[in-house]
Amino acid sequence: MISGSEDGNVLVWDVLSGTVKHRLRHAQSALTGPQDSDVKPQSSKRDVVSAVAWNQLRKEWATAGGDGTVVLWGND
pLDDT tens digits, residue range 5-15? 999 999 999 99
Query: Which among 68, 62, 32 is positioned nearest to 47, based on CA atoms?
Result: 68
More confident call, 24 vs 39: 24
pLDDT tens digits along 26-70: 875 444 444 444 445 555 667 899 999 999 999 999 999 988 889
What is the pLDDT at residue 43?
56
Task: Give the global pTM.
Answer: 0.69
CA distance 10 to 73: 11
Query: Which among 35, 8, 3 is positioned nearest to 21, based on CA atoms?
Result: 3
For the chain, which residues make up each domain, given as ranges? 2-29+46-73
In this structure, are residues 9 and 23 in contact, taking their beta carbons and an 8 Å threshold? yes
